[in-house]
Chains A and B, each alone.
Chain A
Amino acid sequence: KQEVTQIPAALSVPEGENLVLNCSFTDSAIYNLQWFRQDPGKGLTSLLLIQSSQREQTSGRLNASLDKSSGRSTLYIAASQPGDSATYLCAVNNPNTGKLIFGQGTTLQVKP
């Protein structure tokens, strides 16, 4: 059974810092991995999608990497801003199931 773990559960940093959020999964047989952002009381916003054949994806100040064999992904946020404060969720999509399995998220606070 696929399990997804995100560490740390919460993180507080001063504005301007670069930071890394971690995601690990137990079954390396995945189709893709997706990182989401969730603001309080809101739905999920897709940030980056990495297919199983890819090593990383970049969007603006965000960079996500994938090491499928070791069951790990990282989300790197450069030059963090207070507007980055939110909960970040990673999810993996297993072959033939069509469903995402989520981690519990990392709640990020960027202090001005």
Chain B
Amino acid sequence: GAGVSQTPSNKVTEKGKYVELRCDPISGHTALYWYRQSLGQGPEFLIYFQGTGAADDSGLPNDRFFAVRPEGSVSTLKIQRTERGDSAVYLCASSSTQGGAGTGELFFGEGSRLTVL
């Protein structure tokens, strides 16, 4: 597609439920990032993929959070046993990183707004 696509745009769930958020990056972009943004704050890094592998998952807050990118394109962020504190906008970005990590411009999707009741 023309841009980064994220689904669902909105998700309301109950505490304790399992949630999956999907990101479809710009075609050909090898790098994919997940960020989380709380109201009034800047985005906080969660995880970064280079191809199929997680190059840096240091931002995942705990083991309830997990992300995959099995074919090096679409990625899914998975949250188990959701808590009210998980409520936030989850942003996905992709980048073409020819020449190595950190050199490319990041393009963001519209985000998935998660509300845990």
Contact = CB atoms under 8 A, between A and B. Distances in A.
B56 A99 contact: yes
Which of A36, A51, A102 gathers the greatest number of chain B CB atoms within 10 Å?
Answer: A102
Interface string B12-55: 00000000000000000001010100001111110010100001
Contacts of A102: 35, 42-44
Interface in A66-86: none
Interface residues of B, number: 30
Contacts of B102: 31-32, 93-98
Contacts of A44: 43, 91, 93, 108
A89 B42 contact: yes
B55 A98 contact: yes
Contacts of B31: 98
B106 A34 contact: yes
B83 interface: no
B101 A97 contact: yes
A53 to B, nearest CB: 11
Contacts of B44: 102
A65 interface: no
B21 to A, nearest CB: 13
A105 B48 CA distance: 22
Interface of A: 4, 31-32, 34, 36, 41-46, 49, 51, 89, 91, 93-105
Can you list the 9 inter-chain pairs with the closest CB atoms, starting with the nearest? Answer: A102-B42, A98-B101, A31-B102, A44-B108, A43-B110, A43-B108, A49-B105, A99-B45, A104-B42
